[in-house]
Amino acid sequence: MENLLQVWIYNSFDQGSEGGSEAGAMYLAASMLSHSCSPNAAWHMDEANSFILHARKPIREGEEVTIPYLSPADLCLPTGDRREILSTSKAFWCGCERCVAPRDSTRSFRCPRCAVGSALVAASESGREAVGAGGGGDAPDAERLVCSSCGALSDAEATALLAAEAALRPWAREQAAHEGATKGPDSRLPGSDTDAAEGALERLRSAEAAGLDDKHWIVDVARGAAATEQPAMACELLRQRISAQGHVGAHAATKRARLHHALGEALCVLGDTESLQEAVAAYNVAAESLALLFGDDHPEHREAATLRDLTAKKLAHKQRAETGRPLGSGSDPASHAGGKRAALARKRGR
């Protein structure tokens, strides 16, 4: 019975509702899909609890189809943390292409020497991350930082950066666990606890001052936690997160889509014309990205598309009100042409 239970735990797919009870389902073919931290496929359950699989990118004939066993938030964690989560929850040590890569792109620092390149944590000789800094894991190997422009940093240069990262890691890991347990970035937007947000802003400033760059996972987590009741600040933090996530790889596609959705919501709170224009664009990116990832029948895609259309209508009404034109006489080509024909007819009738 214990063996049967372990098989279920390691091969089932989560179906628990957010904040509700845990539940899982096992599918004959889907449960045989392998994990990758850089997956080429995405999956979701539809309303009938059917397992839906979509390609995230072109898959060559004969190439293995892989999916993430991790949440979109956890996929953006450092190699050591991802491996630790998978080891605990699925009982294996991940050896996917991201986990065995020579550099960990989630742990990116501004180079203190050349101030041009990004210094990334180099993989340890044993293939396991060192303890204490930002990578989790359980091996004692010393960590090295290698700049993309000027090469390996000295021990002294690396130690200062890694010490700053290590000091922030426990807090950031707790915040990331919260995001991983919820729908995603939009669960933080405006209305977060003000004291907690101010604390996150302090940690964000500390991380940036210490040399952690925009692509570092702790900076991203701090920006997410720093969302406040000030919509303008929330929008700026979201723009920064979207910009940084655009450089980290295809594994962050779901997270980027949800960040665009969250940006649309925050911009709609501002409500001015420029913000609504940007919101329409943000919702559109979210809708298109989610359709590519999960299909156009996915609830998140439908929600983003609906909000895009509603915001576009709100924007059109606002623009017409600002110009003093009655509804239906704005920039719509058909309406404009009809107005010209009516004016010409009146002129001829005089």
Question: What pLDDT is recorded for position 45?
Answer: 79
84-103 b/e (C-beta count within 10 Å ≥ 16 → b): bbbeeeeeeebebebbeeeb
pLDDT tens by residue, 75-128:
999 999 999 999 998 889 999 999 999 999 999 999 999 989 999 998 764 445
pLDDT tens by residue, 2-22:
777 766 667 777 765 544 456
The end-to-end CA distance of the chain, in Å, is 94
Q: Backbone phi, then psi, for 13, in 5-degree steps?
A: -110, 135
Query: Which residue did the predictor score with more confidence, 313 or 331?
Result: 313
> How many residues are listed for the chain in this entry?
350
> How far is Cα 316 from Cα 325, in angstroms, rounded to an integer?
11
In 3D space, the residue among 15, 6, 52, 11 whose CA is nearest the CA of residue 28 turns out to be: 11
CB 219 within 8 A of CB 208: yes
Q: Which two tokens mark 246? A: 């655009």
Question: What pLDDT is recorded for position 335?
Answer: 42
> How far is Cα 195 from Cα 210, in angstroms, rounded to an integer?
23
Instruction: Report the predicted TM-score, pTM, of the whole model to 2 decimal places.
Output: 0.80
- pLDDT at position 312 over 90: yes
pLDDT tens by residue, 239-284:
999 999 888 788 899 999 999 999 999 999 999 999 999 999 999 9
